[in-house]
Structure 1
Amino acid sequence: MPAQSPLFTDLYQLTMMQGYWHHGLHAQEAVFDLYFRKLPFQGGFAVWAGLEPALEGLEGLRFSEDDLAYLEELGQFRPAFLDALRGWRFSGRVTAFREGSVVFPHEPLLTVHALLWEAQLVETALLNTLNFQTLVATKAARCVLAAESSRYGGQVVEFGARRAQGPDGSLSAARAAFVGGAVGTSNVEAGRLYGLPVSGTHAHAWVESFPDELTAFRAYAELYPDSTVLLLDTVDTLRSGLPNALTVARELRERGHELRGVRLDSGDLAYLSCRVRGALDEAGFPEVKIVASNDLSESVIASIIAEGGRIDTYGVGTQLVTAGGEGGGALGGVFKLAALDGVPKMKLTGEPRKSSLPGAKAVWRAVEADGSYALDALTLGEAPRPGDRVSDPTNPLRFSRLPGGLTWRPAREVVMEGGRRTLAPEGLPDLQARARADLARLPAGTRRMLNPHLYRVGLADDVAALRDRVAEELRGHIQP
């Protein structure tokens, strides 16, 4: 991947950098937390994705002479400041959840400890990368959970390149979808860049380019005898596509090959897949897979399964790469200053839900005796103990006491120190495996598509007390 440009940021990040530098504030030690306030898709979890490309971007961030020349052209930046940027690089520490982890609102997913001007510059790029990939990985996980709920099993392939938000969006979505559980992509460039399995069938145009459907099917099978998947609905799925596909399947078998699959791209997918499955099985082709496409989402997949559909692979496109559907569109992650030179900082604001949590915080995850996840808690350092009180981040009056029998472990770790990654990059199959394992450890109700159980994230008393103290100090500055 090409190196990330330091100009991939909002203008105000650069003007603030110059302001910090001009006033001698740039070298203060800052702590920024990245988190989101609301789960996407009205769901019960999110799958954390995009960390590896984000760290790669931080590690290689430099101002080139072309970058500096462009900034000079803008007329807002002083020569001395631009000269200072020549030796600039990110040298901070990053603490984060490992990519593929399940994560929840109001907990710092990633914390940057760095000089103030360093931390300020990277906000936009971090949010861009992590918000989008986490959103898509979460959507993919929901689609996969829906597909796997069938007693026949099912898998998801990302099919969305043509409807994604530009080439960068398409590639990022393919990567994130794999982290979330998709088994491959139709995007060949994503396959090359990320080592993803690539798959596809043919389009209706292939059939329309031949004198008739059977001739088109035969031509495709002749060219790809061991990987043929035939699209059935160009003319009529049951009265033309299916019988012609069976003819080609028999001809392939006579030549020592097997038809790989058939694809349904329109109509009542539950009904059609049952009819096609029955015909394939009756004709002696039980191993031929049925692929479905046509604006699928987790809710459509769930409805197909509920109606007895017999689909093996769901090609999910638009709804996946654009993260569409109820509660989709954007994750809404934010990047807020939590401390400066050891002094806790917070955004108070007139909208309580948008207030931030001050101080450098630790995130802990409680594990039940059976290995399942129970809740997460934020402290100022020490692990929670039985009997400790934790409160709801959105409602201080709602609190509970922690039970015994839980094992608490740090939910995050240092992934970058001195601007260099502390851990070797992980392969996408490893990230996918982590996501799958983490999802399996959630309470079953948290994985539900509709009205999920809300996984608890609690504030320890030390965090809540610090928030209240800093808020009171800020209120003291308000004019009567």
Structure 2
Amino acid sequence: MLREYTAQPLLTDLYQFTMAYGYWKCGREQTNAVFELYFRENPRGGEFTIFAGLQDCLLFLSKFKLREEDVNFLRKVLPPTTEPGFYDYLRNIDTSAVTLRAVPEGSVVFPKVALLEVEGPLAILQLLETPLLTLVNYASLVATNAARFRLAAGPRKRLLELGLRRAQGPDGGLSASRYSYIGGFDGTSNVIAGKLYGIPLFGSMAHSYITSFTSMSEVKVQTLKPASEGEPEVNFVSLCEKWLFQVCHLLQMPQNRTNSSEFAAFISYAMTYPGHFIALVDSYSVMSSGVPNFCAVSLALHELGYRARGLRLDSGDLLEQSLRIRGCLRTCANQFGVSWLAAVPIIISNSISLNDLIDLQQQDNEVDCIGVGTNLVTCPLQPSLGCVYKLSQVDGKARVKVTEDEGKMTLPGKKAVYRLYGPDGSPFLDLLTLLKEPEPKANEEIECHALTRREAGFRVTAARVGTLHQVYYQHGQLSESLCTTSEIRTHAQNSLDNLAPKHKHLQDPVPYQVAISRKLRDLLNDLIKKSNPSTQCPE
């Protein structure tokens, strides 16, 4: 099921409407223009970004229409000198004259390469700026953050997104769940995200469930039906008590040190979900109470034909405890002949950071699954990707922003973007050219120039050349079918897998090259000279 994004045309900055009025006032509102949306630096010192948010942009464009109540509100907030004819203009605008070209959502992307290119009437494109930036910035940042967490954890650990309660409001929480999944997480605790996007859901219990019990007398239901059909119900409480005695004896732990209220909570939950029993074992003492209680209930479930699904740790030295817990599970599995118990998944949570996952890879541990919340969804080390939306052409004429900060200088003209691949099948360079230039060809020398314009040109030969942009929206209609979240996730993982490992290092990655063609370089230099004749641009 695909969610229809609810962003409205008024989800923008006021100055977009004041500029639109300026265009209308001087008769330029229909002038053809081209804008590009891109970012200047990869997040957190990395060398790649995962592009996300395209689908929401397309849904926003397809439904873009100012309602009468929107126009009436604008009458109240725009200066009283605004002419009535402008409001009539706003009532009638739509995006039928807008064309959007973009990189496929989920692709690995790099700085200065346009993620979106929109072409159409100048005033309308101005109104689209802030919404498009809003829909792409956070989505791409979270997807990239999730991909970095996945790289840190390695391919075999399951990653679960648990950040809804820590996210910046409900929209941020929902977006975080979706784009974390696209970036490589395996599931979420967010139920509405599961409904809307088909993301696998995960959930067990909180400490409040366990601490709500005070004694075994609160376990009102005593019996449990075995998994096999036709078997009579068994007194499950007595069965668990029998197993607790045996487990404590085997592990040489005094049974009177186990917490009876925790035991009651585990039994109650196991009878509620006998085929999906997952217990939180750190409400009291992990090794003296939580683990023996879990093993006893799990062995009782096994006797009735069920399997426990896992146990979760949320405090303490998670890695060291995972080793001790696994030892207990293996001891019980060997002694009681229950082989699956030795491999019960151990799940950890508790403000897990990227550095924690790096440490986890470097240290001995028995962790199978990791729940991540705050440090994933809030992106605390870089809260914004910093995408920008810049004018590149007006009325068929290339435009450039010239600034003393060369990193903020724009690239002029309507462009094509090509991805060049080496013999091993991995990309090694993105090439920006003017749209009217001939396409570069595989197995032929291709002239390239660095973005800084201060380095001499260089030549490369690609084993394969791919066109990065495709048309997604034109004539008021979608040009491509919308992908499911799962399909976008698959593309993201394939795109990232195809990137050379040297560009994916979490520390000191090798820079990925983005270059421009000679014609684009010459156009840029020419426009700079015209904007400031004293500027000297080295060839």
Question: TM-score normalized by structure 2?
Answer: 0.85
Q: Which amino acid aligns with 1:82?
A: Y
8 Å contact kept, 1:384–1:460: no
CA 1:362 to 1:200, structure 2 compared with 1: closer, same or farther past 3 Å? same
Q: CA deviation at 1:323?
A: 1.5
Q: CA deviation at 1:383?
A: 2.5
Query: Who is 1:21 aligned against?
Result: 24
Query: Who is 1:460 aligned against?
Result: 517
8 Å contact kept, 1:36–1:106: yes
CA 1:145 to 1:75, structure 2 compared with 1: closer, same or farther past 3 Å? closer
Q: Distance in 2 between matches of 1:78 and 1:317?
A: 50
Corresponding position: 1:230 with 2:233: no
Query: Who is 1:404 aligned against?
Result: 461
Unaligned runs of 5+ in 2: 215-260, 334-340
Query: Who is 1:47 aligned against?
Result: 50
CA 1:35 to 1:75, structure 2 compared with 1: closer, same or farther past 3 Å? closer
Q: Which amino acid aligns with 1:288?
A: V
Q: Distance in 2 between matches of 1:168 and 1:252?
A: 40
2:193 to 145, 167, 190: 190
Query: Who is 2:182 aligned against?
Result: 179
Q: Distance in 2 between matches of 1:251 and 1:355?
A: 68
Q: Which structure: larger Rg?
A: 2
Q: CA deviation at 1:123?
A: 0.7
Query: Secondary structure at 2:305's aligned position in 1?
Result: coil
8 Å contact kept, 1:389–1:399: no
8 Å contact kept, 1:390–1:399: no
Q: Distance in 2 between matches of 1:239 and 1:161?
A: 32
The sequence identity of aligned pairs, in percent, is 38
Corresponding position: 1:93 with 2:96: no
Query: Who is 1:372 aligned against?
Result: 426
Query: Secondary structure at 1:364's aligned position in 2?
Result: strand
Please say which of residues 68-77 and 8-17 is displaced more in the overlay.
68-77
Q: How does 1:64-463 map to 2 (within 5 A)?
A: 64-76=67-79, 77-91=82-96, 92-148=98-154, 153-211=156-214, 212-284=261-333, 285-325=341-381, 328-381=382-435, 382-384=438-440, 386-393=444-451, 395-463=452-520
Q: CA deviation at 1:221?
A: 1.1
CA 1:250 to 1:169, structure 2 compared with 1: closer, same or farther past 3 Å? same
Q: Which amino acid aligns with 2:58?
A: L
Unaligned runs of 5+ in 1: none
Equivalences, count: 472
Q: CA deviation at 1:65?
A: 1.0
Question: TM-score normalized by structure 1?
Answer: 0.95
Query: Who is 1:474 aligned against?
Result: 531
Query: Secondary structure at 1:384's aligned position in 2?
Result: coil
CA deviation profile, 1:182-216 (whole Å, cap 9, x unmatched): 11111111111222111112111111101111111
8 Å contact kept, 2:48–2:504: yes
Q: Distance in 2 between matches of 1:278 and 1:103?
A: 44
Q: CA deviation at 1:398?
A: 2.7
**What is the Cα-based RMSD across aligned positions, in Å?**
1.5
Q: CA deviation at 1:287?
A: 3.6
Corresponding position: 1:60 with 2:53: no
Q: Distance in 1 between matches of 2:329 and 2:318?
A: 16
Q: Distance in 1 between matches of 2:331 and 2:139?
A: 43
Q: CA deviation at 1:463?
A: 1.3
CA 1:15 to 1:216, structure 2 compared with 1: closer, same or farther past 3 Å? same
Q: Which amino acid aligns with 2:85?
A: A
Q: Distance in 1 between matches of 2:305 and 2:62?
A: 52
Q: CA deviation at 1:266?
A: 1.2
Q: CA deviation at 1:2?
A: 5.2
Q: Distance in 2 between matches of 1:245 and 1:57?
A: 49
Q: CA deviation at 1:391?
A: 2.4
CA deviation profile, 1:286-309 (whole Å, cap 9, x unmatched): 341111111112221120121112
